[in-house]
Structure 1
């Protein structure tokens, strides 16, 4: 019996070697098609993601949010100074990544660089793992960012109902 379990474990590890692992309850990787339109260009090509790239995406996304949140918390405090009776909550202004589902659309851009459009949302419909979620309004409940894995950078960080923050 031990031999059978050992063989199964070896086969399972060989099978999973090189397979991308991610939390499929929080993250969906969607294959780019020309039908997607914005924010993609007609020269973009579909790409895949490795485990290392998924780790990089997470690190860059955390950096992006960590740069955004202090500015947003400051804005929250300024709003409360002006409108003391307002019923705003800090969580309406800042992003806590654990509360978001994410869609990753990896591409190779016209310069041959690997990029991933990351679409994050706190409310999702039943098709979020198959269809891009586009929502008007919702403020920090919906945001997206373009991550360039080749350069380990991000650009076009966009919170719904706010202007783009360029980095």
Structure 2
């Protein structure tokens, strides 16, 4: 798993875009410890894994490269955090 440092500046013009419609997405709404609303988003390549598993359990993967990534979105602060893209085994 690759985690970006918190204060790293990202030049999005140098990053390839992702076609989100090619991913199965799982959204989990939570209230964090600071009583703020968050949505946890897990994404995996459509058709690569068990296609129904995301409907019944939290998706997690140890590898998978860009076929698996996740991010947490804080709705109250209008910010995201904990963005991670898995590596290849």
Report which structure shows greater RCO (CA 8 Å, sep ≥6). Answer: 2
- Could you say whether these structures have the same fold, taking a TM-score greater than 0.5 normalized by the shorter chain as the test? yes
Cross-structure match for 1:83: none
The TM-score with structure 2 as length reference comes to 0.72
The TM-score with structure 1 as length reference comes to 0.41
Gaps of 5+ in 2: 1-9
Structure number having the greater strand percentage: 2
2:12, 2:67 → 1: CA distance?
Answer: 13
Aligned length: 76
CA RMSD of aligned residues (A): 2.2
Gaps of 5+ in 1: 1-66, 74-93, 163-167
Over 4 Å off, 4+ runs: none
Task: Select the residue among 115, 118, 122 that pairs with 2:38.
Answer: 115
Cross-structure match for 2:58: 132
Computing the radius of gyration from Cα coordinates, the structure with the larger value is 1
Work out whether 1:104 is the aligned partner of 2:27: yes
Structure number having the greater helix percentage: 1
